């Protein structure tokens, strides 16, 4: 059940963050936007993966 919850949370949140970053950086900072949004998406994905792994480590 925990795995399902985590997968659902990621499935719901990631597109929202992705769309927000795309909107923010493409409209407000067009030139540096692509680099920054890629970095932020990478960081966000890393944080999500880290949190998920941490949850699994604590469960054992």
pLDDT digits (tens, 9 = 90+) for 5-36: 877 777 777 777 776 766 666 666 566 656 66
Q: Is residue 5 part of a domain?
A: no
What is the per-residue pLDDT for 31?
60
Q: How many domains does the structure of the chain reveal?
A: 1
Is a pLDDT exceeding 70 seen at residue 40? yes
- Measure the CA–CA gap between 26 and 19, rounded to whole angstroms: 10
Q: Is residue 1 part of a domain?
A: no
47/23: higher pLDDT: 47
Would you report the helix, strand and coil content of the chain in percent, each value rounded to 5? 95, 0, 5
Q: The tokens 């936007």 sit on which residue? A: 33
What is the per-residue pLDDT for 30?
60
Q: What is the pTM of this model?
A: 0.39
Q: Is residue 36 part of a domain?
A: yes
């Amino acid at each position: 059940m925990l795995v399902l919850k985590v997968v659902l949370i990621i499935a719901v949140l990631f597109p929202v963050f992705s769309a927000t970053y795309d909107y923010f950086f493409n409209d407000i900072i067009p030139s540096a936007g692509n680099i920054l949004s890629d970095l932020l998406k990478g960081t966000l994905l890393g944080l999500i993966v880290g949190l998920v792994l941490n949850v699994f480590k604590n469960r054992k």
